Amino acid sequence: HNRRDQREVLELELAEINRRGYATSENEVDQGVWGVSAPVFAGRTQLVATLTLMAPAQRSSLRQQEFISMTRAAADRISRVLQF
């Protein structure tokens, strides 16, 4: 039962990440580090990479939306290049 509940929680998190187009984390990889990741596609649906920006959590707290926008824009530019 617990395993199924964990799976459902993860599936909901993945659906939200897919809807937003990016994922963030704080203290998940390294203590005191905040990060944002955005997908890079070749073709409409073929995921080929993930672009990640990492920064000290304390220094990035006021700029997270800016970092999210920059990371998504860079991933989108790379994806457009890979379309050809």
pLDDT tens digits along 48-83: 999 999 999 999 999 999 999 999 999 999 999 998
13-28 residue pLDDT tens: 999 998 999 999 999 9
Tokens of 2: 């617990």
- Residues 54 and 38: their CA atoms lie apart, in Å, by 12
In a domain, 67, yes or no: yes
Task: Give the DSSP H or E segment for 76.
Answer: helix 64-82
Domain-located, residue 61: yes
Domain residue limits at 53: 22-82
The four Cα atoms 63, 64, 69, 73 give a dihedral, to 10 degrees, of 100
Q: Is residue 8 part of a domain?
A: no
Domain count for the chain, please give it: 1
pLDDT band for position 84 (cuts 50, 70, 90): low
The answer to whether residue 44 is domain-embedded is yes
